[in-house]
């Protein structure tokens, strides 16, 4: 009996030590920040501000001089960034190496992502971690399902038939559900990811491009992130709220 109690105590001690090491690792990741060591012209556009102070770049110093309300600055920035980012995406889709693919000039999830990044930049759903994981997981899951279930491209031409329509809605529902579960499990909920999962399984042109769908979606995500990092840090606000995990300090 004494040996059993001793074994239980040892097991509990090991579990406590394991949890302690895990907590230490998580805390170290949360507090890891190399931005202060980078040159100011780099760290600024990664969302870093020394002592929490943020002044606009010299081209926008008139915001301070004229004492423009921050809400006005955010409104103008959101409108400009949304238009410019979507215009850039459309030109990439029309004139880059992706132009030979049967892809839309602009697709719906890009609009949802733009609204999230440029109007709610401090939301956890707008962080680079949620943005990239949400796009990557949704596009990967939808592609895997379409390549597994919709195995014959000619089936897409017969989508009005009952059996093919069943496969399509099954792919769409499964893709969205699995993407949602992944985002919740990894604490990387990104609402446009749901649209990416649905569009990737229900749009014939995007299903036909197969694995290229992942690369296309990620290229759009990186372009939108670049706009958010640049234009979200030239004024008096900062982006992102955090990169990987929120700091405890």
d(CA 117, CA 134): 13
What are the tens digits of pLDDT across the range 118-149? 999 999 999 999 999 999 999 999 999 998 88
Please provide the average confidence, as pLDDT, over all residues in the chain: 83
Domain locations in the chain as residue ranges? 2-46, 56-231
Tens digits of per-residue pLDDT, 17-45? Answer: 666 665 565 555 555 677 777 787 888 88
Stronger pLDDT, 51 or 22, i.e. the higher one: 51
**Better pLDDT: 83 or 18:** 83
Cβ–Cβ < 8 Å for 38, 46: yes
Residue 49's pLDDT is 77
The long-range contacts involving 159-165, CB below 8 angstroms and separated by at least 24 positions, are 159/204
Greater confidence (207 vs 7) lies with 207
Phi, psi for residue 96 in degrees, rounded to 5: -95, -175
Q: Look at residues 124, 122, 114, 202 and name the one whose alpha carbon lies nearest to residue 156.
A: 202
Question: Around 54, how many Cα atoms within 13 Å sit in the side-chain half-sphere?
Answer: 17
The candidate with the shortest Cα–Cα distance to 194, out of 125, 244, 242, is 125
How confident is the model over 3-20, as pLDDT tens digits?
A: 565 666 666 666 666 666
Name the residue among 71, 159, 81 with its Cα closest to residue 113: 81
Task: Find the largest Cα–Cα distance for the chain.
Answer: 79
Q: Is the pLDDT of residue 158 over 90?
A: no
pLDDT at residue 61 is higher than 80: yes
């Amino acid at each position: 009996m004494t040996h059993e109690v001793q074994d239980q105590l040892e097991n509990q001690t090991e579990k406590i030590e394991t949890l302690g090491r895990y907590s230490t690792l998580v805390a170290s990741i949360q507090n890891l920040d190399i931005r202060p060591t980078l040159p100011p012209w780099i760290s600024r556009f990664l969302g870093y501000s020394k002592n929490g102070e943020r002044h606009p770049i010299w081209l926008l110093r008139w915001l301070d001089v004229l004492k423009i309300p921050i809400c006005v600055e955010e409104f103008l920035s959101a409108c400009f960034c949304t238009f410019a980012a979507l215009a850039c995406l459309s030109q990439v889709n029309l004139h880059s190496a992706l132009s030979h693919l049967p892809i839309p000039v602009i697709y719906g999830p890009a609009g949802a992502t733009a609204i999230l990044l440029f109007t709610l930049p401090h939301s956890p759903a707008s962080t680079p971690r949620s943005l990239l994981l949400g796009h990557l997981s949704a596009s990967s899951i939808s592609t895997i399902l379409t390549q597994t279930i919709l195995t014959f491209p000619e089936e897409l031409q017969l989508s009005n038939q009952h059996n093919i329509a069943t496969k399509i809605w099954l792919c769409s529902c499964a893709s969205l559900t699995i993407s949602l579960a992944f985002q919740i499990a990894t604490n990387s909920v990104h609402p446009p990811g749901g649209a990416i999962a649905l569009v990737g399984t229900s749009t014939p042109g995007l299903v036909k491009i197969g694995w290229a769908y992942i690369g296309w979606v990620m290229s759009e995500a990186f372009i939108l992130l670049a706009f958010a990092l640049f234009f979200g840090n030239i004024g008096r606000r900062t982006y992102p709220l955090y990169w990987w995990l929120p700091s405890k300090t």
